[in-house]
C-alpha cells in the first residue's frame, strides 16, 4: 500500500464563516480516511512484530496450524480494506460533495444576512408570513432561510447562474465545470442508486449511453482530484465574495502552527 502523491494545501488565514466550517469538515473527512487506513496498516504491523518476537523467544513451534491461521488473519486486514475500498471511498466522496453544497448554501445565507438588500426581487411574500416575525431582523433571517432552501433544490447550472446574475460571482470556471458536475452526479447515484449509472447520470455528465447500468468505480485518485477541486473552488469563491460584496471575514483560529492546516496523508488502496 503506497502513499499517494497528494498535494499539500494550506487554508487561508481568514474567510467567511461558511468557509471556516467547510475547511474544518474537509480536514476531518480526510483525517477519517487516513485513520481508517492507518489502523489497518498498524494492525498488520503489530501482528507481524508479535509473530517475529514469538519466533525469537522460541514459541513459534507451538503449532504450524495455529501459525497458518494467524497469518491468514494478519494478511486479511489490509486486503479486506482494499476489497471494500469502493464503499469507503463512496462515503468519503458523498461527505465531501455534501460539505461543498452546504458551503454554497451557507455562503448564500451569510450574504443575505450581511447584505439584506440582495434579497430584493420581484417575488411576493404573503402578509401572514411577514406577521410571523416580531422584528425586521427576524423577517430578514426568515426570508434568507426560505431563499436558501429554495435554491438548494436547484441544479448546479441554475445555482451557478444565480450566483453570477445576482452577485457577479463565478462558482466554477468553465475548465472545471464538467468535473464538478460529474462529482456531484456521482454523489447522487452513490446516494440514490448504489453508485450505478442511470440515464440522468449519462445525460448530465456526457457519459456513454452503453454505460447505463454499470457501477461507477471510485478510486483514491478520483477522490483526491475531487477533494482538491472542491477545496480550490471554495477558496476562490470565498475570496471573490468577500472582495466583491464586502463580506466580513473571520480569522481561523486553529490549533495548527500559524493557523494553517495541511492535509493528512492519503494512501493509495
260/12 Cα distance (integer angstroms): 7
Residue 9 DSSP code: -
Residue 15 DSSP code: E
In this prediction, residue 264 carries a pLDDT of 38
Q: Is the pLDDT of residue 6 over 80?
A: no
Query: pLDDT digit string (tens) for 190-242?
Result: 999 999 999 999 999 999 999 999 999 999 889 999 999 999 999 999 999 99
Q: Is the pLDDT of residue 38 over 60?
A: yes
In this prediction, residue 258 carries a pLDDT of 37
Query: pLDDT digit string (tens) for 75-133?
Result: 567 888 888 999 999 999 999 999 999 999 999 999 988 888 888 764 665 656 666 76
Collapsing DSSP to helix, strand or coil, 196 comes out as: strand
Amino acid at each position: 500500500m503506497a502513499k499517494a502523491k497528494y498535494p499539500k494545501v494550506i487554508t487561508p488565514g481568514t474567510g467567511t464563516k461558511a468557509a471556516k466550517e467547510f475547511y474544518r469538515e474537509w480536514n476531518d473527512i480526510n483525517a477519517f480516511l487516513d485513520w481508517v487506513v492507518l489502523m489497518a496498516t498498524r494492525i498488520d504491523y503489530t501482528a507481524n512484530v508479535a509473530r517475529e518476537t514469538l519466533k525469537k523467544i522460541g514459541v513459534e513451534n507451538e503449532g504450524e496450524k495455529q501459525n497458518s491461521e494467524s497469518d491468514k488473519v494478519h494478511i486479511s486486514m489490509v486486503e479486506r480494506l482494499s476489497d471494500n475500498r469502493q464503499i469507503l471511498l463512496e462515503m468519503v466522496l458523498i461527505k465531501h460533495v455534501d460539505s461543498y453544497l452546504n458551503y454554497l448554501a451557507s455562503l448564500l445565507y451569510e450574504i443575505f444576512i450581511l447584505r439584506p438588500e440582495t434579497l430584493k426581487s420581484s417575488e411576493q411574500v404573503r402578509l401572514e408570513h411577514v406577521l410571523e416575525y416580531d422584528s425586521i431582523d427576524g423577517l430578514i433571517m426568515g426570508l434568507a432561510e426560505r431563499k436558501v432552501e429554495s435554491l438548494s433544490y436547484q441544479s448546479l447550472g441554475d445555482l451557478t447562474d444565480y450566483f453570477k446574475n445576482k452577485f457577479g460571482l463565478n462558482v466554477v470556471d468553465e475548465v472545471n465545470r464538467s468535473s464538478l458536475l460529474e462529482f456531484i452526479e456521482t454523489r447522487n447515484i452513490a446516494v440514490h442508486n448504489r453508485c450505478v449509472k442511470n440515464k440522468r447520470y449519462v445525460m448530465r455528465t456526457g457519459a456513454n449511453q452503453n454505460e447505463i447500468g454499470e457501477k461507477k468505480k471510485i478510486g483514491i485518485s478520483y477522490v483526491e482530484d475531487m477533494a482538491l477541486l472542491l477545496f480550490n473552488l471554495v477558496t476562490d469563491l470565498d475570496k471573490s465574495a468577500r472582495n466583491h460584496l464586502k463580506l466580513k471575514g473571520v480569522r481561523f483560529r486553529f490549533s495548527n502552527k500559524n493557523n494553517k492546516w495541511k492535509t493528512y496523508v492519503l494512501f493509495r488502496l
